[in-house]
Amino acid sequence: IEKTDITVNFLNEYGLSDEDFTIQAPKITDNSVNPYIDKDRISYKYIGKVTVMVRSGKIEAVKNANKDSLKLAGDGITINQDYDGMMNFEFTGLNGIKPEMIAEATKNARLAAEQFARDSGSKVGKIKNATQGLFSIDNAAAGLEERKKVRVVTTVEYLLK
What SS3 state is found at 39? helix
User: H-type helices in the chain, by residue range?
Assistant: 2-13, 59-67, 70-73, 94-120
Q: What is the pLDDT of residue 69?
A: 87
> Which segment of 25-34, 82-91, 106-115, 136-145 scores lowest on mean pLDDT?
82-91
Q: What is the pLDDT of residue 144?
A: 79
Sign of CA dihedral 66, 67, 73, 78: positive
pLDDT class of 86 with cuts at 50, 70, 90: low
Average pLDDT for 108-133: 92
AA identity, residue 16: L
Average pLDDT for 28-47: 80
> Over 60: is that where the pLDDT of 16 sits?
yes
What rounded mean pLDDT belongs to the chain? 88
Q: What is the pLDDT of residue 25?
A: 92
% of the chain at pLDDT higher than 90: 50
> Over 60: is that where the pLDDT of 82 sits?
no
Q: What is the pLDDT of residue 84?
A: 54
Q: Is the pTM of this model over 0.75?
A: no
Average pLDDT for 126-138: 90
